[in-house]
Amino acid sequence: MLNDYQLKGSITMITLQNQQLTVQIDELGAQLHSIKRQDNEIEYLWQGDPASWNRQAPILFPFVGRLKDDQYQYSNQTYHQTQHGFARDRKFQVIEQTPSMVVMEQHDDSETKKAFPFSFSLQVKFELVVDKVEISYAVKNPSGDETLIYAIGAHPGFNMPLTGAGSFEQTELSVKPATEYSRIVLDGAYNDSTHPQLIDMRDSLSLNHDLFNKDAIIFKTDGGHFTAKLTDTVANHGVIVDTFNTEYVGVWSQYPSTAPFVCVEPWWGIADNVNADGLLLHKQGMHRLAPNETDNYHFSIKPF
């Protein structure tokens, strides 16, 4: 059935469907739970595993990556916040829905103010458009007098391989534009953007877990249109993640774990710099949103 609701504990699972796709979304964190095409039996989205990575496609807000010592200072106060922010662990409310589209919202309350002193509204829209999942974020600043300082990103993980016939090492990553990129290297959990490396993506890259021994491969995309394609070369199936106006795109799998998934992560923000001083006003990659204004972000996922 269209718009099928299934309880997952105390959280509702939302199902969207059109003639080509069936997608499930968890109200907890507005996290994608399943992506399937109608013409095959493949589950494209990583299903989570407590032994490796138990999440599937978290939304990163109001921070991307880790803060130094999991804290920051703003207006003479110290706030504590774990990696990637709190939105992924809080319930979203459905505010609009059709058989192939849903809009969900989360906003500030007394609990969020303990870790993040700003007023905000975060709306997430999932829409099935032919054979793509179109995903949009709208960040609103409802405050009448204070600038909202935030970052946002996505972290969808995909099964690789997609069938039992292949292996992780038979996965290829290709990107468009197919060129050389500055790669931001992580020093532990923190970015070392003062010492970028070049990564040549003029040809596709065959993946292996050793590529992730310094955590994510972070492409500096500088606000352009960037497309990442993961292909299971044995099954000849995969996913295309189309990003727009992104500042960075991370490609990540676990190391030294050998879990069979790859994440493609559009980021409008980044982890603290290795030299960060802890002041929010100095933090790299943060966005500033004036009172009563809205910022919009968009990317899409196409399974094939």
Q: What is the dihedral of CA 266, 271, 275, 280, to 10 degrees?
A: 110
Distance, in Å, from the CA atom of 161 to the CA atom of 184, rounded to the nearest integer, reads 27
* 10 has a pLDDT exceeding 80: no
pLDDT tens digits for range 111-126: 999 999 999 999 999 9
Both structure tokens of 175: 């990107």
pLDDT tens digits for range 200-220: 999 999 999 999 999 999 999
Per-residue confidence band for 11, with pLDDT thresholds at 50, 70 and 90: low
pLDDT reported for residue 6? 39
Helix (H, G, I), strand (E, B) or coil at 280: helix
Both structure tokens of 54: 């138990």
* 56 has a pLDDT exceeding 90: yes
Average pLDDT of the residues in 9-25: 90
Distance, in Å, from the CA atom of 271 to the CA atom of 256, rounded to the nearest integer, reads 21
pLDDT tens digits for range 227-278: 999 999 999 999 999 999 999 999 999 999 899 999 999 999 999 999 999 9
* 7 has a pLDDT exceeding 80: no
Percent of the chain past pLDDT 70, that is, above it, reads 96
Give the residue among 180, 216, 215 at the shortest CA–CA distance from 200: 180
pLDDT reported for residue 8? 41
* 104 has a pLDDT exceeding 80: yes
Cβ(21)–Cβ(38) under 8 Å? yes
Give the residue among 301, 267, 304, 273 at the shortest CA–CA distance from 287: 267
pLDDT reported for residue 213? 95
Please report, for residues 75, 211, 262, the alpha-carbon distance to residue 165 in angstroms, rounded to integers and kept in the order given.
55, 22, 17
Show the domain range for 201.
5-49+58-303
pLDDT tens digits for range 153-181: 999 999 999 998 889 999 999 999 999 99
pLDDT reported for residue 113? 97
* 59 has a pLDDT exceeding 60: yes
Q: What are phi and psi of 74, to 5 degrees?
A: -150, 130
Average pLDDT of the residues in 21-49: 98
* 3 has a pLDDT exceeding 90: no
Average pLDDT in the chain = 95
Distance, in Å, from the CA atom of 14 to the CA atom of 206, rounded to the nearest integer, reads 35
Distance, in Å, from the CA atom of 47 to the CA atom of 138, rounded to the nearest integer, reads 26
The full 3-state SS of 98-135, as one line of letters, equals: ECCEEEEEEECCCCHHHHCCCCCEEEEEEEEECCEEEE
Distance, in Å, from the CA atom of 215 to the CA atom of 125, rounded to the nearest integer, reads 29
Q: C-alpha 111: how far from its chain's center?
A: 23
Q: Within 13 Å and on the Cβ side, how many CA atoms surround 28? A: 12
* 4 has a pLDDT exceeding 80: no
Q: CATH no. for residue 205?
A: 2.70.98.10
Cβ(265)–Cβ(32) under 8 Å? no
Strands 261-268 and 157-159: what pairing?
Answer: antiparallel
Sort residue 162 into left (φ over 0), alpha (ψ -120 to 50) or beta. alpha
pTM (predicted TM-score) = 0.95
Side by side, which strands form the sheet with 31-37? 5-8, 11-17, 21-26, 31-37
- What is the number of structural domains in the chain? 1
